[in-house]
A and B are shown apart, each in its own frame.
Chain A
Amino acid sequence: MLVWTKSGKAAVWIAFAVVFGVLVLAPFLVVIAAAFAGSWNGVLPSDPTTSHLQQALSGDELASLSVSLQTAFMGGLFAVLFGTWGALSAANTRFARVADALHHLPIAVPSVVVGLGLLVAFSRQPILLNGTKWIVVIAHLVLMVAFSYGTVAAALQRIDPSYADVAASLGASPARVLWQVRFPMLLPAVASAAGLSVALSMGEVGATIMVYPASWRTLPVSIFALTDRGQSFVAAAEAVVLLTATVVLVLVLDRLRGRATER
């Protein structure tokens, strides 16, 4: 509807394919290709192998996967809990704007700074968390609360408040209105907040690299350590493990969301 001639369209499409393919898509495909390549000295990777992948799924690297999954689950779970709680309690009050701004702070400042803040705060008494896995979990929690809050608050704005009013006018207690009317309507948003939190937590690197103890290395930190040692191919294989785990988790949570919407 903008370009009418056949040749003009073809030219635009070719330009699109080049820009999108080379600039946006290629880097992601290259990582996947490198994961299965023995060497890469020309235009195309050579010596297809799965040994990098096996290496990425054994020993320390496998432990990293488990650490990442646990961190994403704990951090994501608490983030969704606190985010939903915050959004529900701030909605339609005079504190809504302040709560909104406060909850979005962790997105607006660099994750490295969030990490540094936690490090300075929890490196001495009375709360000494530096060196434990909990400081990593808290870092992920702080970062993901912002996204959970945003998702749930946006959904709250779209929901017709008259359902809750009607339920209350029919004599339902506030707790019952919350559990049986407002929360079920929010469930799809909560599930999508969970998916987003878990996906972002799996790939988080800035705050994690500031606070992680040697005993609690997440996947992105391991991938960085590998690239730092020059083992790019194993790093690429581990990135593929990270991507696969993230996609599987998000798909599972997405199915839960589908089920929540059907109800």
Chain B
Amino acid sequence: MVGSAEFRDALLRTVQIAVSSTIGCLIVGTFLAVVISFVPFPGARVVAGLVDTMLALPSFLVALSFTFIYGSTGILRAGGFLTSPWAVVLAEVTFYTPFVMRPLLAAMSRLPRAQLDVAASLGAGPWRVLRQVVLPEVRPALVAGGSLTLLLTLNEFGIVLFLGAKNTTTLPMLVHTKGIVMFDYPGACVIAVVQIALSLGLYAVLRTALGGGRRARLD
């Protein structure tokens, strides 16, 4: 099983999708969190609250909506896109961006505003303030949010199942196909063990890297 091309493709695809989605989430999440925290607009608190609510929603809703947005009869009629791995990546970015935003928003709210004002008064432009003042301060939150997202995207199943893309077989999807459709329990178990090793390995690295105090963020 481990030697089969099917398995290798699924492993590669899983890692590829997870890494691309995590990078996307980090970029989008950082941008949104910076605007909410440092360029606040009326209603910014409502948006922040909305982000919290989204964490409890099921992920397959995003995949379901993609049928209407990108489906063959939908808004954009980008039929081919829906069956490509990029649809999965986009759906995961949508769903997991709040997971990056939440720790970032918390970290940014603890950042003393005076620091930013001083940097700006000394002539630093917005980019420089962001790069040299804000980002170093919120790095732990960025690492925590990013690694949680990486773990969750490696394990994501609902989105892949609902998009049902033929050439997007990830490891969890393969476990499902082998176990339920083909009733090949031993085969499914082998894949499951690899997946567990992958996830737990990452999880262990995460726990040691983030240490005691920040562990609560994983909950």
Contact = CB atoms under 8 A, between A and B. Distances in A.
Given A223-B60, A239-B61, A28 B54 contact: yes
A2 B200 contact: no
Interface in A193-233: 196, 199-200, 202-206, 209-210, 220, 223-224, 227-228, 232
A16 interface: yes
A224 B162 contact: yes
Nearest to B50: A25
A2 B36 CA distance: 11
Interface size on A, as a range, is 35 or more
Given A40-B73, A154-B219, A243-B57, A108 B65 contact: no
A20 B158 CA distance: 22
Interface residues of B, number: 70
A13 B54 contact: no
Contacts of A107: 218
Contacts of B59: 203
Interface stretch (B4-12, B113-121, B137-145): B113-121
Contacts of A27: 61-62, 65-66, 69, 91, 94
Interface string B172-208: 1001100110000100110010011001100100010
14 contacts: A1-B116, A3-B39, A23-B28, A23-B94, A24-B28, A24-B94, A110-B157, A110-B195, A112-B175, A112-B176, A116-B179, A203-B58, A205-B157, A223-B60
- Which of B73, B156, B179 has the most A CB atoms < 10 Å from its CB? B179
B86 interface: no
A196 B113 CA distance: 33
Contact of A2 (B64, B75, B126): B126
A42 B75 contact: yes
A119 B195 contact: no
**Majority secondary structure of chain B interface residues (helix, strand, loop or mixed):** helix
A136 to B, nearest CB: 14
A206 B157 contact: yes
Contact of A28 (B28, B34, B56, B65): B65
B162 to A, nearest CB: 6
Interface string B10-53: 00000000000000000010011011001101000001001100
A250 interface: yes
Q: Which 3 interchain pairs have the tightest Cβ spacing?
A: A203-B58, A150-B219, A110-B155
A1 B41 CA distance: 12
Contacts of B195: 109-110, 113
A166 interface: no
A71 interface: no
Contact of B161 (A12, A151, A209, A250): A209
A140 to B, nearest CB: 13
Interface in B63-81: 64-69, 71, 73-75
Interface of A: 1-4, 8-9, 12-13, 15-16, 19-20, 23-28, 30-31, 33-34, 39-43, 100-101, 104-105, 107-113, 116-117, 119-120, 147, 150-151, 154, 196, 199-200, 202-206, 209-210, 220, 223-224, 227-228, 232, 235-236, 239, 242-243, 246, 250
A111 B57 CA distance: 16
Contacts of B28: 19, 23-24
A56 to B, nearest CB: 13
A31 B65 contact: yes
B129 interface: yes
Nearest to B77: A41
A206 B172 contact: yes
- Which of B58, B67, B151, B162 has the most A CB atoms < 10 Å from its CB? B58
B98 interface: yes
Given A16-B35, A23-B97, A27-B62, A210 B176 contact: yes
A34 to B, nearest CB: 5
Interface string B119-157: 010000010011000000000000000000001001111
Contacts of B94: 23-24, 27
A55 B57 CA distance: 23
B88 interface: no
B34 A2 contact: yes
B219 A151 contact: yes
Contacts of A119: 179, 185
A34 B117 contact: no
Contacts of B60: 203, 205, 220, 223-224
B93 interface: yes
